[in-house]
Chain A
Amino acid sequence: MRKGRAISTFAAAALLSIGLAGQASAQTIKIGVNEPLTGPFAASGTYVVNGAKIAADEINAKGGLLGKKVELVIEDNKSNPTEAAAVAEKLITADKVPVIMGAWGSSLTLAVMPKLLEYKVPMVVETSSSGKITTSGNTYIFRISPPSAVEAAAFKDILPKLHMKKVDFLVINNDWGRGAADDFGKVLKGEGIGVGLVETMDQSAQDMSAQLSKIKGTDSDTIMVTTAVEQLTLLLKQAAALGIKKRIVTTGGSQNPDQLIDQAGTAANGTYHLTTFAPWYPDQTPDPTATKYFLGEWKKRGFNFAGATESFRGYDGIRTIAKGIEKAGKAEPEAITKALWDVDFTGLNGKIKFQKQGPAGKESGQSMPNVYLIQIDNGKVILPKL
């Protein structure tokens, strides 16, 4: 009896979803959001979605877009490439969204990309860092996060002030970490700084003492680290426990300094971090008003401050899309794709304007955000005087 009802509920829900999906969205403008909300990247994906919601609410409070309300269609890609592609398919064909933001991790974004080509729908990439995303000739890709090459190039200007002689790398073993080790390695070598070990750690690894003990024994003065905040917390604690006195510089923009201070305690002191958004000093960000508004909303909704450095990308991603739709004058994929090239505004982390990257004639868009070097000193984030 009960089983029968469960099955009929399922069937009804399935029919409902298919039926509803078919209805055209005349009243609202839909924006697809394809993010990991369960699985290994759930925490970050959720932050980005929360940022996106703030942007959508802000736009709606100001009267919406083209006279219509913005509606985010948020789907969970389960931190899994197969699902990421399926979600893109659903957003485009069932929900009929004219534009997507996604999909956090590089492998997730790469899995979505063929679908964009198939249906000719643009996607604003808010987090992924793999170089392949903008260089594989997909004209529907517009990325606002910096790939490690951009970060490394920005780092070059700061480099002389840090007086490094030799650097070891310890990076997460994925495209992000490996890409960072390559790109930063090139810049360092170009400036005459020695590159020693390049050690990797598994994405799910919790104990890095082996790698750190190895690095402790080298003659380098600096360790460059690329990974997300959870692993970074452990790594700083373990480095402190091993008595490592070398300077630690982290890259990648997913470090979340406040969470580090909170969770790694004194082990975080003295560490340097390259980041693309500096919410601790709203007045020094490119658009102080927007930064203050965003942080105020973030706080009002009861989210922890530490998440702001991850979620601002969702906020900027949706704002970028909104500007694109405004410029296009209609919520249609082709028009938005064209209009995204004309988007030019100041995001929370600098100018958002897409430059062409990739094979000629089939370029993807890449925006070049600012990069800041911050330091944690006595449990506080400071802009170091160098």
Chain B
Amino acid sequence: MIEFLQHVINALILGSTYALLGIGLTLIFGIMRVVNFAHGELYAFGAYCVYLVSVLMGLNFFFSILVAILAGCLLGALIEVILLRPMRNADIDTTMLVMIGAMIVMQNGEQYIWGGVAKSVNTPFPEAPFVIGPFSVSSLSLFVFFAALLLIGVAYFLINRTKLGKAMRATFQDRDTASLMGINIQRIYMATFAIGSSLAAAAGALLGPVYVVSPLMGNIASLKAFAIVILGGLGSIGGATIGGFMLAFAEEIGAGYISSGYRDAMGFLIIIAVLLVKPTGLFARSERIG
């Protein structure tokens, strides 16, 4: 029982960061119909920002997270304007290829600049774990958990309570009608990609110190983010949040009680099962097929 509860604690912490990754991707995927392979690279970008600002420049750790979020936002907007805007009328596979190209360039650019050796980021949090009875969790993880929840809340507020969010939702439901209603689609797309990117960078900024910062950290992040999005359904922030926690639980329980070798298969098996039972994902608004 103690072991099970420890697995639950682990899953909650892991799930919060998964959710953060998933939300950014689901926004971009849902609103822009872009299969964003560079999402993981923005995650890595956020982590390198923290490394640059807090380790190399020696500035405050929390400040470096803010810098990472803002820089991710800017880079996202830049990518949208340079790479995606000219391809607006191209089909989904072609824009996907552009993003794959961006991924290859960014990933190897990171290695070129920073080298292949992983970097670690020290934080102001004590190294000793936080212990309650038989359970134990590092204080950095607790911080990451609450920060992730806060960011998820902010994103949720942005989408559901602001004018920009309303326009984004309208664009998601019907791009042409939204455009007719006077919504500036160009601006919405740029905002969507910038917000999605800054969420990915935020996830990287939070997780970089927990794990290590390396040029390849983006690969696994992208794969997980895709899994989360499909679990939750396209364009659904609530879905991506729940999807993130579900994936984390599946991995924890799978590794804990079934087989650690198949740990990463759990998420994908759930996805296949979900899609067979409910092809639109667990929480998606119904989407036209075809």
In the complex, A touching B (Cβ < 8 A): yes
Q: How far is the CB of A193 from chain B (nearest CB, A)?
A: 22
Q: How far is the CB of A372 from chain B (nearest CB, A)?
A: 23
Complex Cα–Cα for A200 and B263 (A): 9
- Interface mask (B250-280 → A, CB under 8 Å = 1, otherwise 0): 0110111000110110000000000000000
Is the CB–CB distance between B260 and A307 below 8 Å?
Answer: no
List of 4 A-B pairs having minimum Cβ-Cβ separation, nearest first: A42-B116, A241-B138, A210-B255, A43-B116
Residue of B7, B117, B118, B211 with most partner-chain A CB within 10 A: B117
Is the CB–CB distance between B214 and A213 below 8 Å?
Answer: no
Interchain CB contact (< 8 A) of A205 among B7, B122, B264: B264
Of the four ranges (under 10, 10 to 19, 20 to 34, 35 or more), the interface on chain A belongs to: 35 or more
Chain A neighbourhood of B120, CB < 8 A:
233, 262-264
Q: How far is the CB of A79 from chain B (nearest CB, A)?
A: 10
Complex Cα–Cα for A46 and B207 (A): 26
- Interface mask (B84-123 → A, CB under 8 Å = 1, otherwise 0): 0000000000000000000000001001000111101010
Chain A neighbourhood of B216, CB < 8 A:
39-40, 204
Chain A neighbourhood of B108, CB < 8 A:
38
- 15 A/B residue pairs, CB under 8 Å, sorted by A: A40-B216, A43-B115, A43-B116, A45-B116, A206-B217, A207-B211, A209-B14, A210-B252, A213-B3, A214-B256, A230-B214, A241-B136, A241-B141, A242-B137, A243-B136
Is the CB–CB distance between A242 and B129 below 8 Å?
Answer: yes
- Interface mask (B1-41 → A, CB under 8 Å = 1, otherwise 0): 01100110010001000000000000000000000000000
Complex Cα–Cα for A230 and B213 (A): 10
Which residues of B are at the interface with A, using a C-beta cutoff of 8 A? 2-3, 6-7, 10, 14, 108, 111, 115-118, 120, 122, 127-129, 131, 136-138, 141, 207, 211-212, 214-217, 219-220, 251-252, 254-256, 260-261, 263-264
- Interface mask (A40-74 → B, CB under 8 Å = 1, otherwise 0): 10111110000000000000000000000000000
Q: How far is the CB of B254 from chain A (nearest CB, A)?
A: 8
Q: Which of A173-222 contact B (CB under 8 A)?
A: 173, 199-202, 204-207, 209-211, 213-214, 216-217
Complex Cα–Cα for A230 and B212 (A): 7
Is the CB–CB distance between A46 and B263 below 8 Å?
Answer: no
Complex Cα–Cα for A233 and B3 (A): 23
Complex Cα–Cα for A242 and B111 (A): 32
Q: How far is the CB of A270 from chain B (nearest CB, A)?
A: 13
Chain B neighbourhood of A229, CB < 8 A:
118
| Interface status of A114 (Cβ within 8 A of chain B) | no
Complex Cα–Cα for A38 and B104 (A): 11
Interchain CB contact (< 8 A) of A200 among B128, B138, B260: B260
Complex Cα–Cα for A327 and B38 (A): 52
Chain B contact surface mostly: helix
| Interface status of A288 (Cβ within 8 A of chain B) | no
Is the CB–CB distance between A216 and B3 below 8 Å?
Answer: yes
Interchain CB contact (< 8 A) of A214 among B14, B115, B118, B255: B255
Is the CB–CB distance between B220 and A38 below 8 Å?
Answer: no
| Interface status of A296 (Cβ within 8 A of chain B) | no
Is the CB–CB distance between A202 and B115 below 8 Å?
Answer: no
| Interface status of A340 (Cβ within 8 A of chain B) | no
Complex Cα–Cα for A307 and B115 (A): 13
Closest residue to B117 on the A side, CB-wise? A43
Complex Cα–Cα for A46 and B10 (A): 35
Complex Cα–Cα for A266 and B138 (A): 13
Closest residue to B5 on the A side, CB-wise? A213
Complex Cα–Cα for A216 and B141 (A): 19
Q: Which of A284-314 contact B (CB under 8 A)?
A: 304, 307
| Interface status of A237 (Cβ within 8 A of chain B) | yes
- Other A-B pairs, 20, CB within 8 Å; known A234-B211, A243-B131: A38-B108, A38-B111, A42-B116, A43-B117, A45-B116, A173-B261, A200-B260, A201-B260, A204-B220, A205-B264, A206-B207, A207-B251, A209-B10, A210-B252, A213-B3, A229-B118, A237-B138, A243-B129, A243-B136, A264-B120
Q: How far is the CB of B190 from chain A (nearest CB, A)?
A: 28
Complex Cα–Cα for A373 and B6 (A): 32
Chain A neighbourhood of B215, CB < 8 A:
42
| Interface status of A22 (Cβ within 8 A of chain B) | no
Closest residue to A243 on the B side, CB-wise? B136
Is the CB–CB distance between B118 and A230 below 8 Å?
Answer: yes
Chain A neighbourhood of B211, CB < 8 A:
206-207, 234
Residue of B116, B138, B264 with most partner-chain A CB within 10 A: B116
Q: How far is the CB of B168 from chain A (nearest CB, A)?
A: 31
| Interface status of A87 (Cβ within 8 A of chain B) | no
Complex Cα–Cα for A240 and B120 (A): 16
Is the CB–CB distance between B6 and A205 below 8 Å?
Answer: no
Q: How far is the CB of B123 from chain A (nearest CB, A)?
A: 10
| Interface status of A265 (Cβ within 8 A of chain B) | yes
Is the CB–CB distance between B127 and A265 below 8 Å?
Answer: yes
| Interface status of A267 (Cβ within 8 A of chain B) | yes
Q: Which of A303-339 contact B (CB under 8 A)?
A: 304, 307
Chain A neighbourhood of B7, CB < 8 A:
210, 213
Is the CB–CB distance between B212 and A233 below 8 Å?
Answer: yes
Q: How far is the CB of A212 from chain B (nearest CB, A)?
A: 9
Is the CB–CB distance between A210 and B136 below 8 Å?
Answer: no
Chain A neighbourhood of B214, CB < 8 A:
43, 230
Complex Cα–Cα for A211 and B258 (A): 11
Q: How far is the CB of A234 from chain B (nearest CB, A)?
A: 6
Complex Cα–Cα for A45 and B111 (A): 13
Complex Cα–Cα for A207 and B122 (A): 18
Complex Cα–Cα for A173 and B260 (A): 9
Q: Which of A244-303 contact B (CB under 8 A)?
A: 259, 262-267
Chain A neighbourhood of B111, CB < 8 A:
38, 42
Is the CB–CB distance between A211 and B115 below 8 Å?
Answer: no
Is the CB–CB distance between A211 and B255 below 8 Å?
Answer: yes
Complex Cα–Cα for A43 and B214 (A): 10
